[in-house]
A and B are shown apart, each in its own frame.
Chain A
Amino acid sequence: MTIEILTSPFMRYALLAAVITGVSAPALGTYLVQRRLALIGDGIGHVALTGVAVGLLTATSPVLTAMLAAVAGAIVIELVRERGRTSGDVALAVLFYGGIAGGVFLVNLSASHTNTNLMTYLFGSPLTTTREDLVVLALLGAAVLAVALGLRPWLFAVCHDEEYARVSGLPVRLLNLLLAVTTALTVTVAMRAVGLLLVSALMVVPVATAQLLAGGFRATQWLAMAIGVLAAGAGIGFAGVYDTAPGATIVLLAIGGFAVTTVVVAGWRRVRRVRPDARDGPAVEPPEVVLTR
C-alpha cells in the first residue's frame, strides 16, 4: 500500500519538484549566507505573494506573476542595499510586510477564491504538481544552478568582499543584480514544494548544516546541495506515507539534520580537544588572537 503511494505518478512529480528545489535552493543560498543576508529569500517570498494574488485575481498563471513580482522585489531590495543607508532596514521591512499584506488583500477581493488557495502558495503543495509545472520548475532550477555553480568564483568574490571585487574591476553591480534575480527565481521554484513562507529555510538550513562539516566554500556549497536533496526527497516520502504536510516535513527534516549535526560536531570537538592538533602547537601568534568565526 505505501509502496503504491510512493510509485504513483503524482508522487513521482512531487518528488521531482522537491528534488529540484532541494538542489537549487541551497546552491544559491550559500551566497546569501556568505553575505549574511540569510533572510533575504524570506523577504522576496513575501513580495512574491502579492504576485500570486495578482495571478489569482486576473486568472493568469500565479507562478508567472509570482516570478515577476519576486524579480521586481529582488531588484528593489538590491538597489536599497546598494545605497547602504541605515534606513535600508526599514525600507526592507516596508517591502516585506507590504508584500504579504498586499497579497492577502488582493486575494480577499476575489470572492471566488478561498483561503485554501492562498495556503497552497504560502506552505506549498508538491502533491499537486502537474507535468507542465514540472517543466517550468526544471527550467528555472537549471537556470539557478547555471548561475550558482557556473559563476562561483565571481559571485564568491563579490559576496566575500564587495569592495575588493570593485577594486579588482569585476562587474559588481551586474553580479549583484544577477544574484538578486536568481534569488527571485529560486523563490519561485521553491514555492511549489515548501511554499513562500518556508522558502528561506531550504536556502539557509542546509548551508548551515554543511558549513559545520565542510572545509571550504566550494565544499559547503556541494554538501548543502546534497543535504537539500536528501531532506526534500525524504520529506516527500515521509509526507506521502504518513500524510503529513510535505513542505513542513521537508523543513523539519532539514532542521533536524542541522540539530543532530551540531550536537555531533560539538561532541567530536570535545573529544579532539583532549588531544590537541599538533599543527596548532608552537604558533608564532599568541593563541588568544585566534578568531573563531
Chain B
Amino acid sequence: MPVSPPVLAVRALSAGYPDRPVLRDVSLAVAPGEVLAILGANGSGKSTLVRAALGLLPVTTGTISLFGTALPRFRQRHRIGYVPQRVGAGSGVPATVAEVVSSGRLARRRLRWLPRATDRAAVARAIAAVGLADRRRDLVGTLSGGQQQRTLIARALASEPDLLVLDEPTTGVDAASQLAFAATIRGFVAGGGAVVLVAHELGPLAELVSRSVVLDHGRVVPPGPGRTGDRAPDHVHPHAPAEPPGIWRGNHR
C-alpha cells in the first residue's frame, strides 16, 4: 500500500504582509486523519500561517504543499474546507443559510450551470451536520453569532473536503454547540479527514487533537518538557463516536 503524502506540508516558511514579515522559518506537516491544533497568543501568527498555507498570502521563502502538490500547482481546491476567523457571516444583501452554504459547493461544482442532485444533497448534508436544517431558509443575518459560525462551518463541509482548516471556529459558540461541533469534527475525522485547528481554548475539542504546535512571535515553539500538547495517536478520540461517522462524506468515494 503506497504511503499517502502529507495532507499539508509547510517547510521553512517565511510569510507575512507587505512590509510586515510575520512568520519565520515555520515547518509542520499534517497526515491524513490527523487533527493538528495550532496554539499561541494573540498576534503570534496563527491566522497568518493558515492563510499562507491556503495561498491567501504571498510566500517569502519556503514551500507549501497540499496533498503532495506544491501550492502554486494545486488545483483540487474542493479537497479543502476553510472556516475563516471572523465575526458573523452576513453581507450587504441578506442571504439565506442555504445560499451561503451552497457557495461552498462551487469548488466541486465548478462552472456547471445547474447544480446536480449530488450537489444539492451535499449542501443539505452539510447544513444538517451543523444542526441548522430547520433554519436553512432563514437569513444568515437573523441568526445568532454562534449559528452564523456554524453556517460557515457548513459552507466548508459542502465541498466534501479531505482537509478542514478551522481558524478559531468555536469562538463565541456556547458550550452545547461546542459539543455538537466536536461531534461534527469527530465524524469528519472518523471518515478519514484531516483537520488544522487554530484555537485558544480547545474545550471539548481537546480530546480530538492528535498533535499541537505552539506559535510565538511567528516561530514554532520547540516542544519542551512539561508540555502536554503531543499525544500518542492511539490516545486520540478514545471514545467511540456516537454519531454517524462521516455522514457528509458519502457519495464521491
> Which partner residue on chain A sits nearest B81 by CB separation?
A167
Q: How far is the CB of B109 from chain A (nearest CB, A)?
A: 8
- Residues from chain A with a CB closer than 8 A to the CB of B113 are 150
- Residues from chain B with a CB closer than 8 A to the CB of A164 are 82, 84, 103-104, 155
Interface centre among A164, A207, A211, A286 (most CB of B within 10 A): A164
Given contacts A34-B92, A215-B137, contact A167 B106 (CB under 8 A): no
B93 touching A291, Cβ below 8 Å: no
Interface centre among A156, A166, A291, A292 (most CB of B within 10 A): A291
- Residues facing A in B95-123 (CB within 8 A) are 95-96, 99-100, 102-104, 106-107, 109, 111, 113
Q: Of B35-43, B144-152, B225-233, which stretch is located at the interface?
A: B144-152
- Residues facing B in A265-293 (CB within 8 A) are 283-287, 289-293
> Which partner residue on chain A sits nearest B18 by CB separation?
A85
> Which partner residue on chain A sits nearest B159 by CB separation?
A168
Q: State which of B77, B87, B99, B142 has its C-beta within 8 Å of the C-beta of A168.
A: B77
Cα of A159 to Cα of B100 in the assembled complex, Å: 11
- Residues from chain A with a CB closer than 8 A to the CB of B102 are 153
B48 close to A (CB within 8 Å): no
Q: Of A70-78, A216-224, A241-249, which stretch is located at the interface?
A: A216-224
Given contacts A166-B55, A169-B77, contact A285 B145 (CB under 8 A): yes
Q: What interface size band does chain A fall in?
A: 35 or more
Interface centre among B51, B75, B93, B177 (most CB of A within 10 A): B93
Cα of A250 to Cα of B171 in the assembled complex, Å: 47
Cα of A170 to Cα of B95 in the assembled complex, Å: 20
> Which partner residue on chain B sits nearest A37 by CB separation?
B92
Q: How far is the CB of B170 from chain A (nearest CB, A)?
A: 13
B106 touching A168, Cβ below 8 Å: yes
Given contacts A285-B174, A291-B144, contact A167 B56 (CB under 8 A): yes
**Residues of B near any A CB (own CB < 8 A):** 51, 54-56, 75, 77-78, 80, 82, 84, 87-88, 90-96, 99-100, 102-104, 106-107, 109, 111, 113, 137, 139, 141-148, 155, 159, 172, 174, 176-177
**Residues of A near any B CB (own CB < 8 A):** 30, 33-36, 38, 150, 153-154, 156-157, 159-161, 163-170, 207, 211, 214-218, 220, 283-287, 289-293
**Those 7 A-B pairs whose CB atoms lie nearest each other, nearest first:** A169-B77, A293-B141, A168-B107, A285-B144, A157-B103, A34-B93, A217-B95
